[in-house]
Every structure is written in structure tokens, then in C-alpha cells.
Amino acid sequence: MVITTSAYLRLPLDHTAPAAARHGAKPVLIGWGCTDETWLGDAAVVISELVSNAVIHADGCVELSLELRGGRVVWIGVADTSSTVPVRRVATVDGGHGLAIVEDLTARLHVQRYHRGKRVWAVLRPCPLGI
């Protein structure tokens, strides 16, 4: 049986949301034993990118979900009210780097319908065991 532990955070739909998400997630992740600074930095980047996309492309509320599955695998979910599925763009000086960065830092990325919008899930690589 796989045990899942969850945490949720509702975020403002404005420019403060990515920082609020990072600051809210870090103590949760550390509490779950994910203390490796490099891993936490990667998690922060993924959270920032997914929340930023929600703020830019949706309206209404944004919800951050964190799930610890099997003791070491963290799933990061960001739900918003837009049903538009994010698509990796060709990067330019004006943007388009976000999903490429998220894909590079995660083991898996997928989208599911959620209420009247969607939830984007990023599955991080297993967090290193603390010493």
C-alpha cells in the first residue's frame, strides 16, 4: 500500500502568487524529510513556473497541491480555472522557457481536468534521503 500525505494552499491570482507558493511549500517539503538544498531549489523553480503560468493564463483562484507518495516522491499540482492545456512553446527572448525548464527538472508532467479548469501535475524526481 502506498501512503500519500497531502498539503494544499490557495494562492492570490496576482504577481505575489509564485513567491507565496514557494514560501508555503518549503516548510512542508522539509517537514516531509526533503531537506537537500539542490532538490528544494529544483522544487521551487517548478512551483514558480507552474504558478506563474496559472497567474498569466487563468482567472479566478489558483491552488497549489503537494503530495508525498511512497515516502520520497513529491507531486506538485497547480489548479486554475482555465481549461486550456499548457503547450511547450519555442523559446524566444520574450518567453517560452517555462515548460521546458519544468520538463527538465521533473520525472513526469501531466494535466487533468479539475472542476471547470485543469490541474497541472509535475512529478519530481525522488527527494534524496536526509542524513
In a domain, 35, yes or no: yes
Q: What is the pLDDT of residues 48-84, one digit of tens each?
A: 999 999 998 888 789 999 999 988 999 999 999 988 8
pLDDT score recorded for residue 130: 62
Distance CA 33, CA 20 (A): 21
Q: What angle do CA 23, 87, 99 make, to 5 degrees?
A: 35
- Assign 87 to helix, strand or coil: coil
Q: What is the pLDDT of residues 11-43, one digit of tens each?
A: 988 999 999 999 999 999 999 999 999 999 999
Provide the whole-model pTM.
Answer: 0.90
Give the CATH number of the domain where residue 40 resides: 3.30.565.10
- Whether the CB-CB separation of 55 and 18 falls below 8 Å is answered with yes
User: Total structural domains in the chain?
Assistant: 1
Give strand pairing partners of 66.
Answer: 7, 76
Q: Which domain holds residue 120?
A: 4-124
In a domain, 101, yes or no: yes
In a domain, 63, yes or no: yes
In a domain, 129, yes or no: no
